[in-house]
Amino acid sequence: DAKTTQPPSMDCAEGRAANLPCNHSTISGNEYVYWYRQIHSQGPQYIIHGLKNNETNEMASLIITEDRKSSTLILPHATLRDTAVYYCIVRVATEGRGSTLGRLYFGRGTQLTVWP
């Protein structure tokens, strides 16, 4: 089962920041937070991941609360091409005996619609 909770849908005006929330209140100490997105008819695309510090890359920023029970993905200047389903996932950091590293649970995600 997915260990995350996300709103089913969100809207954002083009050029504005899109802030997508995710709750992961049962996250374990060795679990990272990953974000993927899936544009219609394509395979999911990796966006960003983090453990406890905020992270930024060319696509987005990830803000993780101090207690790590929630996070926010920020698309600073949303474009029409950012319309997609965004998935927040938690997974273990290391692989070992009995690890479930391979089991990414995608849940239902958030449908982000960017409008002109």
| Residue given tokens 């960003």 in the structure block | 48
Q: Which residues contact 29 (CB under 8 A, 6 or more apart)?
A: none
Cα–Cα distance measured from residue 79 to residue 5, given in angstroms and rounded to the nearest whole number: 25
Range in contact with another protein (rule: CB under 8 A) among 13-21, 43-51, 59-67, 74-82: 43-51
Question: Is residue 7 involved in binding another protein (CB under 8 A)?
Answer: no
Which of 1, 40, 53, 103 lies at the binding interface for another protein (CB under 8 A)?
Answer: 103
At closest approach, how far in Å is the CB of 12 from another protein? 22
Cα–Cα distance measured from residue 116 to residue 81, given in angstroms and rounded to the nearest whole number: 11
Question: Rule CB under 8 A: which residues touch another protein?
Answer: 2, 32, 34, 36, 42-46, 49, 87, 93, 95, 100-109
